[in-house]
Structure 1
Amino acid sequence: MKQRPSPWMTEELQLLADTASRFFEREAVPNDARWRAQHVGDRDYWNKLGAAGLLCLSIPEEYGGGGGDFRHDAVFLHAQMRAMVGGGSNNVHSAIVAHYILGYGTEAQKRRWLPKMASGEMVAAIAMTEPGAGTDLQALRTSARRDGDHYVINGSKTFITNGWHADLVCVVARTGTEKGGKGLSIIVVETKGQQGYRHGPLLDKIGQHSTDTCELFFDEMRVPCEQLLGAEEGRGFAQLMSQLPRERLIVATGGVATMQRAVEETLAYVSQRKVFGETLMKMQNTRFKLAECQTHATIAQSFVDDCIVRATKGELDLPTSAMAKWWVSEMVCKVIDECLQLFGGYGYMNEYPIARMYADARVGRIYGGSNEVMKELIARSMETQALG
């Protein structure tokens, strides 16, 4: 079934989608199996992305970016998810970290880091999660104490996407003595030659094998105070809360593309696979299951399209982004599971895209804030409205 066009899509955005799709077919698809095997993409892949103008698409041109908005990030992500390739997370690099720097950095910080991120000279990561603190950001323990004109950072972070290749890491650390979120700040670390900084081995994940993930360790790491994001300590928690709706919409946007690819792969398979002399598509159970999956995918696209329009206008609120994140990530897993079942034993083989989708999609219910926390955020908003 042909997908309806998104109401926010333009001719310019369609050209970007075509460019991104051709880039992935040329530079990523031929390397994907090798990247999956080694659990990390090639470092020069980032430079190729930069040379093609596909990094920092929603960052202003004056800082080396593409001058677009969230729609441009969404188009890139959709093309990538449809191609089912990794090699590194441009979502984290361009759509998340770059916007922390753009939104809260000083002018000098923006001009220092954003052009290098746009060219691929620097690969960026954000270090929030710790071994003992994930979704509960107020429980973070990594410390940053002032010593003259430097911060001395101690602690560790885990599950850090892009951590292996990262040249630039936004580290969330406790700069104050206040409990909870009040004492948190974001300090930007340039990792090349940085004493006291190291990353651990690549983590062996269930899925998303071609996107590097590792632990980071800070041992008396001295970072100039001028690399505090913005000009004021203790603003980290507010900065994180302001940007998280964008991150959650990214999860939902990728989920829509994955659902569409899953249904298409399955429709093609059941249309040619024969059982008892008939194609699987002729069987009522197959038809009903695919009808359900297509319905979920269509509803998800409509919901996410509305969220993208809101985000483009700067009107996407936290509860709505939480709804999109939890519901779409749940539906992705449900749809892929139903589709995989129709493949029978072949659906369990990694040579089939549906098997890789099954493993890759599961983390969507965890990262960006667990779905249980998303529901709590929605409920709090409802409670506040009820108490009025």
Structure 2
Amino acid sequence: MTTSQPMAFDAEKESLVLDAVERFVERELKPVAQRLEHADEWPAGIVAGMREMGLFGCIIREEYGGLGLSASTYAKVVERIARVWMSVSGIINSHLIMAACVQRNGTEAQRQRFLPIFASGELRGGLALTEPDCGTDLQAVRTVARRDGDHYVINGTKTWISNGIHGQAFAVLVKTDPQAQPRHRGMSLFICEKGPGFTSTRKLEKLGYKGIDSAELVFENFRVPAENLVGGVEGQGFKQVMSGLELGRINVAARGVGVARACLEESVAYAQLRRTFGKPICDHQAIALKLADMATRAEAARLLVEQAARAYDVGQRCDMEAGMAKLFASEAAVENAMEALRIHGAYGYSKEMNVERYYRDAPLLCIGEGTNELQRLIIARQLVERDPI
């Protein structure tokens, strides 16, 4: 069962939400981001604040207790958070992909049961897709669920799962028919709450993107009620996950815009303060050209995100638009981070400066929610499908 209701744009609501997020970011995130990131500490107080603001229900419809934001507004929320600390935007992203899978594909009983507690943040979690031997090729997952009366029994391992330690529930992609051909017809999606047989085994250490917990999840004869099968029908999991990843890729693209803009803003400010040869370095052509390119990349990325979010809001298929936004914005973040480091010189290499953190965070965006190489393939295939000879 799939529902995809167009989201109406509410300018007044957007303004109120974005103002509240801006105040929250300035008051709660900015003073502690550098310290918590370097300590790789899960930001319990910030998560509590986001829960109080209703951000765990950003895209969940109001009838289920959420804020009912359009993807366009949600992308702006993500961008504002990512400009200060990208990791925090990831805490709500994975959770909301799970929620989107239920909202778009779940039965009405599942929506009534799960969405209100997802929206309140009472039950938080994410999406469990990746496995030790399976990343981009999701059809190769080996985690299996077999029917046993009114339950399914799940066995397998998932890895690099965001919110894996502090989350309580996950949308888990499994094989209910490992022999199915094509393979995607044997895949199903379950909402699994932690319990006997479902554990987080370890926190995975990362180069950047710290603070948010990335973990390995292990299922050993884990029993999940059959009523937790999203949509109530086996074999729909791959399609359901793909629809959720459209929102995820818009989120990652919005993060890219946030990081790209943060790099630009820090560089513009520093280039006016730092002086060489008797003048601010922004007056040197070499630096001015870098700033111009950084600004252009950030603005182009923002416009691509807006285009993808609008398509998502009206219920159109937007894997190409989301792929374009994710591809360009993530690469813009990486390029701007490198240029920001160069503009800051030795100071950019210091842990005292934010640009060092952006430089470590940005590469994740080229990998997460599908590698940029995969995005290029999706874009190319859609170009041919949408304009056949």
TM range (shorter): over 0.9
Q: Which residue of 2 aligns with 1:25?
A: 26
Match of 2:84 in 1: 83
Task: Say which SS state the counterpart of residue 171 (structure 2) adopts.
Answer: strand
User: Any idea what the Cα deviations from partners look like across 1:8-52, whole Å, max 9, x if unmatched?
Assistant: 783431221110121223333344345324434244543432222
If the length of structure 2 is used for normalisation, what is the TM-score?
0.92
Aligned partner letter, 1:62: E
Residue 57 of structure 1 pairs with residue 90 of structure 2: no
Match of 1:223 in 2: 224
Deviation at 1:119, TM superposition (A): 1.6
Does structure 2 conserve the Cα–Cα contact (< 8 Å) formed by 1:74 and 1:250? Answer: yes
- Counterpart contact for 1:125–1:166, Cα < 8 Å: yes
- Give SS of 2:230's match: coil
Alpha-carbon offset, residue 187 of structure 1? 0.9
Unmatched segments (≥5 aa) in structure 1: 1-7
Contact 2:79 2:258 in 1 (8 A): yes
Moved more, 125-134 or 110-119: 110-119
Q: What pairs with 1:180-195 in structure 2 (closer than 5 Å)?
A: 180-191=183-194, 194-195=195-196
**In 1, are the aligned partners of 2:72 and 2:306 still within 8 Å (CA)?**
no
Contact 1:29–1:85 under 8 Å retained in 2: no
8 Å Cα contact 2:308/2:318 also seen in 1:
no
For 1:121-147, what per-residue CA distance to the aligned partner results, in whole angstroms no more than 9, with x for missing partners?
Answer: 111111000010001111111000111
Residue type of the partner of 1:89?
I
- Residue type of the alignment partner of 2:21: A
Provide the residue aligned with 1:233 in structure 2: 234
Deviations 1:143-188 (A, max 9, x none): 0011111111111001100111111111100011314211110111
Whether the 8 Å CA contact 1:28–1:86 is kept in 2: the answer is no
Equivalent residue, structure 2, for 1:165 = 166
**Match of 2:315?**
314
1:197 maps to what in 2? 198
- Offset at 1:239? 0.9
CA shift in 2, pair 1:69/1:271, >3 Å: same
Q: CA deviation at 1:356?
A: 0.6
Structure 1 counterpart SS, 2:56 = coil
* Structure 2 residues not aligned, in runs of 5+: 1-8
For 1:126-141, list aligned pairs within 5 A: 126-141=127-142
| Residue 117 (str. 1) matches residue 111 (str. 2) | no
Describe the SS at the equivalent of 1:199: strand
Contact 2:60/2:69 (<8 A) preserved = yes
Counterpart Cα distance in 2 of 1:25 and 1:387:
49
State the one-letter code of the partner of 1:238: K
Displacement of 1:316 after TM fit? 4.7
Q: Is the 8 A contact 2:86 2:259 kept in 1?
A: no
2 CA distance for matches of 1:9 and 1:289? 37
Aligned-residue CA RMSD (Å): 1.9
Provide the aligned length of Structure 1 versus Structure 2: 378
Report 1:296-311 matches (<5 A). Answer: 296-311=297-312
SS of residue in 2 equivalent to 1:181: helix
Deviates more, 1:120-129 or 1:246-255: 246-255
Measure the CA separation in 2 of the matches of 1:45 and 1:256: 22
CA distance in 1, matches of 2:230, 2:382: 29
Cα distance change of structure 1 residues 19 and 238 upon mapping to structure 2, 3 Å threshold: same
Write out per-residue CA displacement over residues 36-95 of structure 1, whole angstroms, 9 at most, x where no aligned residue. Answer: 24434244543432222222122112211012221231122022012225346111112x
Contact in 2 for aligned 1:266/1:339 (Cα 8 Å): yes
CA contact (8 A) 2:131 2:157 kept: yes
State the 1:275 CA deviation: 1.6
Match of 2:73 in 1: 72
Write the deviation string for residues 347-375 of structure 1: whole angstroms up to 9, x where unpaired.
Answer: 11122111111111101111111111111
Describe how 1:8-47 pairs up with structure 2 within 5 A: 10-43=11-44, 45-47=46-48
1:224 shift after superposition: 1.2
C-alpha distance in 1 between matches for 2:35 and 2:271: 29
Measured after TM superposition, the shift of residue 246 of structure 1 is 2.0
Q: CA–CA distance in 1 between the matches of 2:328 and 2:284? A: 29
Letter in 2 for 1:127: A
Alpha-carbon deviations, 1:314-356, whole Å to 9, x = none? 2252222212211221122112211211111111112211111
Counterpart residue identity of residue 166, structure 2:
H
| Contact 2:204-2:214 at 8 Å conserved across structures | yes
Query: What is the match of residue 293 of structure 1?
Result: 294
Q: 1:74 to 1:9 in 2, by over 3 A?
A: farther
Matching residue of 1:335: 336
With 147-156 and 235-244 compared, the bigger mean Cα shift is at 235-244
In 1: Cα distance, 2:10 partner to 2:120 partner: 26
Q: What secondary structure, in the 3-state scheme, does the structure 1 residue paired with 2:161 have?
A: strand
> Corresponding residue for 1:354?
355
SS of the residue 2:370 aligns to: coil
Match of 1:83, SS state, is: coil
Instruction: Please list, as runs of the form range in 1=range in 2, the aligned pairs for 1:168-179 lying within 5 A after superposition.
Output: 168-176=169-177, 177-179=179-181
Distance (whole Å) between structure 2 residues aligned to residue 377 and residue 77 of structure 1: 24
Shift of 1:387: 4.6
Aligned residue for 1:17, secondary structure, equals: helix
From the superposition, tell whether residues 254 and 320 of structure 1 become closer, same or farther in structure 2 (CA, over 3 Å): same
Q: Deviations over 1:193-241 (max 9, x none)?
A: x111111222111111011111101111111111111110110011122
Deviations 1:279-319 (A, max 9, x none): 21121101111111111122222222222222222225222
Letter in 2 for 1:196: G
